[in-house]
Amino acid sequence: MKNNKKIALFGGSFDPVHTDHFNMAKTCHDKLGFEEVWIIPTFLNPFKSSTKTSNEERLNLLNLIFENEPYIKIDKFEMNNNRVTTTYETVSHFKELYSDIDFSFVIGSDNLNRLEEWNNFDELIKMIHFIVFERSNEYKKEVATKYHIPIYQFENNFLSSTKLRELKELNLLTPKVNDYINYHLLYLDIRVKPFMDKKRYEHCLNVGEMAAELAKNNGIDPQRAKVAGTLHDITKRWDNEKQIAYLRKYDKTLLIEPKPVWHSYTGAFHLKHDWLIKDEEIINAVYNHTVGCENMTKLDMIIFCADKISKERNYENVEYYRAECFNNLKTGFKKLLINQYEVAIKTHGIDAIGKKLLRTYDYYIKGDK
């Protein structure tokens, strides 16, 4: 009898794809005898109202994580359908197209709980073998027994896309996937929006846009500037207690700076230690965005300026400062710095404006750097 090729179909939202998805696919190939694993990202999960990320972004992430795995094929059948596609339809499609292939369908054990509710389940279970990977100990074991479905263990980190979107357990996510997510600013509606009011969120988006424009003007990667700009105020609405806790944890000396400046430092610490952003220039640009420092990079200046001239800002002379920044970044930056220094002194007095603003002012304005 002819030995048919064995292929595992692995469907999911992959929003984002993570290390455990990777390990499951690898186990199918390395240990369970599947020659290939075909990854089928959903257009929409039938049990969810919507996915959070575009098809293109999810595909890019899949291509990235599996780039060195030759046994993987990423199939766009469900995505291209542009509508909800049930597993029954998908399996029928592949079986019809490739009648000489032995297909199995990979799921996590959580899916056993509602497996019998899947569309056309009675037929589906006769059409294809399910391969189940244990996700936790709590699942309907009787469903597996009833349909003789094998359960496999694998090197499981017990990750979930939902938790990763919420910045939980990011240290276990394949770093290049995390880097892509950060660089493309995915999941802002989960990671940024809920932590501030609408106006502040709009400001953040506008600063990101303005920073990208200034970056283009100055020969810098606009996307990196957009990331720093969009995330610059990420901790602005954190309460004092949380700000203090972060400063105590990462740099106590900053507690002597005025409270309104704290968020620049806690923002940088949050992005570095919780978002796991590795690009130090981005981290530093957030760190320096309120009162600057000596020897600022172009990106530092861009974020400092973009924050003060973003689209929605409408204080007197804002148009003038905008034009100055686009005409010459350094000149615009210095003018904004003088303005900020004078306003700060008028409002708070020289003793209360903090050492860092004084130092930046001395360096750039008095020292004419």
Max CA pair span of the chain: 90
Interface residue with ligand ADP among 44, 45, 140, 190 (CB under 6 A) is 45
Closer to ligand ADP at the Cβ: 14 or 361?
14
The yes or no reply on residue 107 touching ligand ADP (CB under 6 A) is yes
Number of Cβ within a 10 Å radius of residue 65: 24
Rounded to the nearest angstrom, the gap between the alpha carbon of residue 285 and the centroid of all alpha carbons in its chain is 19
13-21, 139-147, 244-252, 348-356 -> range binding ligand ADP (CB under 6 A): 13-21
Interface residue with ligand ADP among 75, 110, 169, 274 (CB under 6 A) is 110
The yes or no reply on residue 14 touching ligand ADP (CB under 6 A) is yes
Closer to ligand ADP at the Cβ: 14 or 187?
14
The yes or no reply on residue 19 touching ligand ADP (CB under 6 A) is no
Q: Are 153 and 24 in contact (CB under 8 A)?
A: no
Number of residues that bind ligand ADP (CB under 6 A): 18
* Residue closest to ligand ADP (Cβ): 108
Helix intervals (H) in the chain: 19-30, 55-65, 77-81, 87-97, 121-127, 141-146, 161-165, 175-183, 188-191, 198-217, 222-231, 240-250, 259-273, 280-287, 298-309, 318-327, 329-348, 355-361
Q: For residue 192, which phi and psi values (nearest 5 degrees)?
A: -120, -55
Minimum distance between the CB of residue 37 and ligand ADP, rounded to whole angstroms?
12
Interface residue with ligand ADP among 161, 178, 310, 360 (CB under 6 A) is 161
Residue 178 burial class via C-beta count within 10 angstroms: exposed 0-12, middle 13-18, buried 19 and up:
buried
Minimum distance between the CB of residue 148 and ligand ADP, rounded to whole angstroms?
19
List interacting residues with ligand ADP (CB under 6 A): 12-14, 20-21, 42, 45, 107-108, 110-111, 133, 135, 156, 158-161
